[in-house]
Homo-oligomer: A and B are copies of this chain.
């Protein structure tokens, strides 16, 4: 993409409403614009990151055997009456009346609706287990939306729902998501720790939050230090096999959110391994058995023709929230530092003398080569001076910058800067192209 043809409206000043780094940088880097409290337009740069995260989440769901579908944003109130949640859910539920005075709502979550979809079609134990997911916009009418997309009202979420015949197989479904989540967050560049968590309005008796550590985290968390750097299971995990050992390895050590914290248990962790820190929730998984399937009569016939109420779990990842979470984890005072897996563009090309024949030609050569190689570069072809271009590129945080100016070109060289380390090297055009291409190879 050529910057002159892109829509990248940067802000010069830090907006007053931004109290945390991700909110500040997302506004300054032209990633989002607030339309009204807690509701955002995703400008092109922000939208690209959102889509990349969504795609990684999707790929890891598919790998774990979950099947994608899509439920609507607007739901009929009847479904929520069946489970008693229509009245139980507080003012965070956006209630709507349509032109025929029917009661509707903008879905804050989908347990009730997916249970209805399931019971409409599935009759036999032979069709179990089922694991279905969707990636859809949700709405929670927060009393005080804040922290930008981290606590917005309209937000994008991946939610998966599992249906099993027995508690044992339901536990296996839970484990699949547990492992898929570890792999998902690792691909996003994040160190997410699964922690025992409260089940809140979803309900159930088994639940883990996946937490990334960040000073600006919304809640306090407590865990064994070794969990933070424990490697993810890896993409070659056999999801058809038994995953219990992988899960046990990560649940044997202490890790808990504030709500479930047990100070006495935590005290048993060796003192030099005790970690108490601020954390950001990026995923949350629940096993809740028959909480929805019982009132909604989601049953299947077992081998003996006897009706069995299915056992369910639900598994969420905050896709739009992750954009903020990743920035909280990766930034410096100059701006964002994107992990390669979610960067909106693979590299930036800075033309230090737009209009100069040689510089333009060199930039075009690099732009064309990187485009062909699938690196998807952003080419700053505007007429601004170097200082403006450098700080703009640092702010939007692409992993590599290729700086092309008349001085370097005299010896046939350009400068390649690594945004994370700040390291710079002078390379020939070809070497620069190869270096960046191989970084994504």
List residues of chain A with CB under 8 Å of any chain B CB: 5-7, 9, 30, 33, 35-36, 39-44, 47-48, 50, 65, 67-76, 78-79, 91-92, 94, 96, 98-99, 102, 104, 106, 113, 116-117, 120-122, 130, 132, 134, 137, 139, 141, 143, 153-154
Chain B residue nearest to A142 (CB atoms) is B99
Contact A35 B137 (CB under 8 A): no
User: Smallest CB–CB gap between A412 and chain B, Å?
Assistant: 31
Provide the residues of chain B in CB contact with A50, threshold 8 Å. 70
B39, B72, B132: the one within 8 Å of A7 (CB): B132
Chain B residue nearest to A93 (CB atoms) is B99
Chain B residue nearest to A156 (CB atoms) is B70
Chain B residue nearest to A65 (CB atoms) is B5
Instruction: List 14 A-B pairs, Cβ < 8 Å.
Output: A5-B65, A9-B122, A33-B121, A35-B72, A44-B67, A47-B70, A73-B73, A73-B154, A74-B154, A94-B98, A96-B106, A98-B141, A99-B141, A106-B106
B30, B41, B70: the one within 8 Å of A72 (CB): B41
User: Smallest CB–CB gap between A357 and chain B, Å?
Assistant: 21
Contact A113 B69 (CB under 8 A): no
B79, B94, B130: the one within 8 Å of A96 (CB): B94
B92, B113, B120, B137: the one within 8 Å of A137 (CB): B137
4 additional A-B pairs beyond A74-B153, A106-B106, beta carbons within 8 Å, are A5-B67, A7-B69, A44-B132, A48-B68
B9, B74, B121: the one within 8 Å of A39 (CB): B74
Given A7-B130, A68-B47, A122-B9, A41 contacting B96 (CB threshold 8 A):
no
Provide the residues of chain B in CB contact with A75, threshold 8 Å. 35-36, 39
The CA-CA distance from A98 to B5 in the complex, in Å, is 38
The CA-CA distance from A120 to B33 in the complex, in Å, is 9
User: Smallest CB–CB gap between A253 and chain B, Å?
Assistant: 34
Provide the residues of chain B in CB contact with A122, threshold 8 Å. 9
B36, B76, B91, B99: the one within 8 Å of A102 (CB): B36
Provide the residues of chain B in CB contact with A9, threshold 8 Å. 120-122
Provide the residues of chain B in CB contact with A35, threshold 8 Å. 71-72, 75-76, 79, 113, 116
Given A47-B68, A67-B44, A96-B96, A36 contacting B139 (CB threshold 8 A):
no
Which 8 pairs of residues, A with B, have the shortest CB-CB distance? A9-B121, A36-B76, A42-B70, A91-B99, A99-B141, A41-B71, A72-B154, A39-B72
Chain B residue nearest to A137 (CB atoms) is B73
Contact B41 A74 (CB under 8 A): no
Provide the residues of chain B in CB contact with A117, threshold 8 Å. 33, 41, 43
Contact A74 B139 (CB under 8 A): yes
Given A39-B72, A99-B143, A141-B98, A7 contacting B67 (CB threshold 8 A):
yes
Provide the residues of chain B in CB contact with A6, threshold 8 Å. 67
The CA-CA distance from A120 to B98 in the complex, in Å, is 32
Contact A44 B68 (CB under 8 A): yes
B47, B96, B120: the one within 8 Å of A69 (CB): B47
The CA-CA distance from A74 to B143 in the complex, in Å, is 16
Given A33-B120, A76-B36, A41 contacting B70 (CB threshold 8 A):
yes
The CA-CA distance from A423 to B99 in the complex, in Å, is 50
Provide the residues of chain B in CB contact with A33, threshold 8 Å. 117, 120-121
Contact B72 A40 (CB under 8 A): yes
Provide the residues of chain B in CB contact with A76, threshold 8 Å. 35-36, 39
Provide the residues of chain B in CB contact with A40, threshold 8 Å. 72
User: Smallest CB–CB gap between A133 and chain B, Å?
Assistant: 10
User: Smallest CB–CB gap between A40 and chain B, Å?
Assistant: 6
Chain B residue nearest to A42 (CB atoms) is B70
User: Smallest CB–CB gap between A63 and chain B, Å?
Assistant: 13
